Structure 1
Amino acid sequence: MSGAELKKVGLKVTLPRLKILEILEQQGDEDHHLTAEDVYKILLEQDEEVGLATVYRVLTQFEQAGIVRRLNFENNLSTFELDTGDNHDHLVCVKTGRVKEFVDPIIEDRIQQIAKEKGYELSGHSLVIYGTCKE
């Protein structure tokens, strides 16, 4: 995502926003969902002078603009991922906190069927499976 795309969603292009967006694009993947503290630590490692409060504020602005999704799991930590518009679910390790994404067409079909059977028009869903990973 570029500065022009930030403008398109109504956000002013600032260095902190660009840096945080860059971190989410480079560091956040299907196996690595970032907390605000993770983003802050990476900024510190890059010698960027951005405060933790700014990181939280920018991530909240990104969430409101539809750029990122905030995920709240049972470990009471909010993690953030870029909102790519795809539909996926999550596995969470209860020991390490590691989050892994997955997509299963059978589960997706069944969720659609259940919604239809119960008379719901599905607008979205969230499935989180908790367990212990091998690591």
Structure 2
Amino acid sequence: MKRVKQKIFQDYIARQGLKSTRQRDIILDAFLSSDRHLSIEELYLKLRAKHPNIGYATVYRTLKLFAESGIAREIHFGDGQTRYEHVSEGEHHDHLVCTGCGTIIEFENESIEKLQDEVAAAHNFLIKHHKLELYGLCAKCRS
């Protein structure tokens, strides 16, 4: 899947008339190797130790390109930070967000998806996309 996303991104930047650069490749590899919802700063700090020549603005612009190309999605959990997550065709998940420590848990629930479809159908509504975010305290913060 990583190679597919790399190819999608390379094709996108070529169509945009942009160059494939070593810095973009490094940022892409770090992003695709992470299983977290990364903020710009988190990814920048992760890269800075090994690649001090990659600046914050480069990470910012590159993450924006990932979102534009369709391999990443910008998400906002109400804490003022934009985070980025991987996007896979046909995949959908929702989020539990801890308001104590900021932990984000992804989950899938077929019953919730079915209920959303039923509610939409009852109102003659066509869902194009949606997001479900539940906010509260994780087990660690509750104890």
Do they fold alike, i.e. is TM over 0.5?
yes
Q: What residue is the counterpart of 1:105 in the other structure?
A: 110
Identify the structure with bigger relative contact order (alpha carbons < 8 Å, sequence gap 6+). Answer: 1
Given candidates 4, 7, 13, the residue that maps to 1:10 is 13
1:82 aligns with 2:82: no
Q: For 1:124 and 1:5, locate their aligned partners in 2 and report how far apart those are by CA, in whole Å.
A: 21
1:114 aligns with 2:112: no
Count of aligned pairs = 132
Return the offset for 1:113. Answer: 1.0
Given candidates 67, 71, 79, the residue that maps to 1:63 is 67
Q: What residue is the counterpart of 1:37 in the other structure?
A: 41
Structure 1 vs Structure 2 CA RMSD? 1.5
2:96 partner letter: L
Q: What residue is the counterpart of 2:129 in the other structure?
A: 124
TM-score of the pair, normalised by structure 2: 0.85
- Percent identity, aligned pairs only, is 31
Query: Are 1:70 and 1:78, in contact at CA under 8 Å, matched by a contact in 2?
Result: yes
Q: What residue is the counterpart of 2:99 in the other structure?
A: 94
Q: Which is helix-richer, 1 or 2? A: 2
Q: Which consecutive segments of 4 or more residues in structure 1 shift more than 4 A? A: none
Return the offset for 1:17. Answer: 1.6
Gaps of 5+ in 2: none
